[in-house]
Amino acid sequence: MGVVKRDGKWRLEKKKEGVYLVTERGEQKAKIITGEYEPSGPMNDERNDMMSQVIEVRDFEEAKKEFKSFASGGSSGGLF
């Protein structure tokens, strides 16, 4: 859907309602899921992403904080 926030080489991109991708130079580093997200079915749940870190937050404000954590020097969530 488009870039909603930028910080140097980092981007926060909206994929769909309630789903945001954290990218560094075009490479996906994490997926942030907000409370607005509603999966279209169990097989299409964005939370089931085995290829990148998935972070669940309440709202877009928390998503921006998670993005800031990546952009300021590292991953968030303690998984990577």
Distance CA 31, CA 52 (A): 7
Q: What is the pLDDT of residue 38?
A: 94
**66, pLDDT greater than 50:** yes
Backbone angles phi, psi at 31, to 5 degrees: -125, 130
Domain ranges of the chain: 2-71
pTM of the predicted structure, to 2 decimals: 0.87
Distance CA 58, CA 37 (A): 10
Alpha helices in the chain (DSSP H): 60-71
Q: What is the pLDDT of residue 42?
A: 82
